[in-house]
Amino acid sequence: MLPREILKKVKQVEIQTRRIVNDVFSGEYRSIFKGKGMSFSEVREYQPGDDVRVIDWNVTARHNKPYVKVMEEERELTVYFLFDVSASGRVGSHERFKSEIAAEICAVLAFSAIRNGDKVGLINFSDKIEKYLSPRKGKAYAMQLIREVLFGEYDDRGTHIEKALEFLSRVAKKRSIVFLLSDFYDTGFEQALKAVANRHDLILVHIVDPLDVEIPDMGLFPCYDAESGKQMLIDTSLKAVREAYARRYIERSRNLEQLSRKSKTDLIHIRTDTSYIEPLNRFFKTRGRQQYR
C-alpha cells in the first residue's frame, strides 16, 4: 500500500476504535487497571478522625497546628502489547485475517490506555523479535503503534512465544499490564509465561478463525501451512480426517486453558466470524466483579 493509503486506513481504525472505547469501554479500563502505589499530593489541616500517622510534623511545627499529608494513587501505568506477526495470522475464512482482528483489538486497548494517561509499548514477534516500540504516552504514538501492527512487513513465518516473553522480561523494568495477542500455534513457552505472570498483569488474547477449529468437507484439498511453508493434499471428504483436525484444535485450546489457570492469567477467546466487542466487554465486567469481591 502507498503511504497515503496506509495513513487513511490507520485513521479509519482510529475513528472506529475510538467510538468503541467511548461507547462501550468508557470507565471500564480505568476501573480494573489501577495504579499500584501512592504519592504525596498536598497537606491540609488535621480533621477529627484523620490517621495520626500521616501528620506532617514539619508543617505542623511551622504553623503551630496539626497538618496531615494527602496522598493520591499513582495512576500512570505501562501497557505492553506482545503481537504475534507470524504467517498463521494472515489467514482468515471470513472478511478479515486474524492479524487484522488482533490489530483492532490492540487499537481499542491502546486508545483506552492513552485516554487514561498510561504509556503503551509494542513487541512484534514471529520466531524472533521483529519490532520493539518502547512505552510512551500520547495519541500520535498510539497511531504509530497501530500502523505497525497493521502494516509491519516481516519475512519470518514461525512463532516463538517464549522468545517474546523473555524479551519482555528484559525490557519491562517495573510491573506492567501485558496483552499477548496470538493464535498460539506454539508450544514450550510455559515457564516463560509463568515467569512473566508472576511479575506482571498478563492477559492472553487467543485469536481463532473457524478454519482453526474445523475443516469443511471440500474433497481433496491442497493444504498450505502458513508458518512452515509446507504443502500437502488432504482428503477432507474423510470423516476421520476432519475429526482428527478438530481434535487437535480442542487439545490446543484445552492446554491453553490449563496453562492460563495454572499461571493465574486471564484468557480471552476471540473469533474472526463474530464481534470482538462481546468477549472484551465480558472480560472487563468479569475482571471488575472479581476485584470487588
Q: Say yes or no: 61 and 154 in one domain.
A: no
| Structural domain of 64 | 38-73
CB atoms inside a 10 Å sphere around CB 208? 20
- Kindly state the percentage of the chain with pLDDT values over 70: 88
Binning pLDDT at 50, 70 and 90, where does residue 171 land? very high
pLDDT over 80 (residue 236): yes
Q: Say yes or no: 143 and 256 in one domain.
A: yes
Query: Can you tell me the mean pLDDT for 28-39?
Result: 67
Per-residue pLDDT tens digits for 132-151? 999 999 989 998 998 898 88
Query: Can you tell me the mean pLDDT for 30-43?
Result: 66
At a CB cut-off of 8 Å and minimum separation 6, what does 92 contact?
98, 100, 209, 272
Q: Say yes or no: 8 and 48 in one domain.
A: no
Query: Can you tell me the mean pLDDT for 270-293?
Result: 82
Query: Can you tell me the mean pLDDT for 220-242?
Result: 76
Query: Can you tell me the mean pLDDT for 252-262?
Result: 96
Q: Read off the CATH number of the domain in which 96 is found.
A: 3.40.50.410
Query: Can you tell me the mean pLDDT for 202-215?
Result: 94
Q: Say yes or no: 62 and 118 in one domain.
A: no
Q: Say yes or no: 134 and 259 in one domain.
A: yes
Ranges 77-81, 209-213, 228-232, 272-276: which has the least confidence = 228-232
Q: Say yes or no: 128 and 57 in one domain.
A: no
The total domain count for the chain is: 2
Are 94 and 108 within 8 A, CB to CB?
A: no
Q: What nine digits make up the cell of 205?
A: 488474547
Binning pLDDT at 50, 70 and 90, where does residue 38 land? low
Q: Say yes or no: 56 and 96 in one domain.
A: no
Binning pLDDT at 50, 70 and 90, where does residue 203 land? very high
Query: Can you tell me the mean pLDDT for 267-279?
Result: 93
Give the span between the Cα atoms of 25 and 44, in whole angstroms.
Answer: 35
Taking all residues of the chain, what is their mean pLDDT, rounded to a whole number? Answer: 86
Give the span between the Cα atoms of 136 and 119, in whole angstroms.
Answer: 5
Which amino acid, 63?
H
Per-residue pLDDT tens digits for 70-117? 765 555 789 999 999 998 888 777 778 899 999 999 999 999 998 888
Q: Say yes or no: 45 and 131 in one domain.
A: no
pLDDT over 70 (residue 227): no
Q: Say yes or no: 147 and 268 in one domain.
A: yes
pLDDT at 287: 82
pLDDT at 71: 62
pLDDT at 291: 59
Binning pLDDT at 50, 70 and 90, where does residue 228 land? low
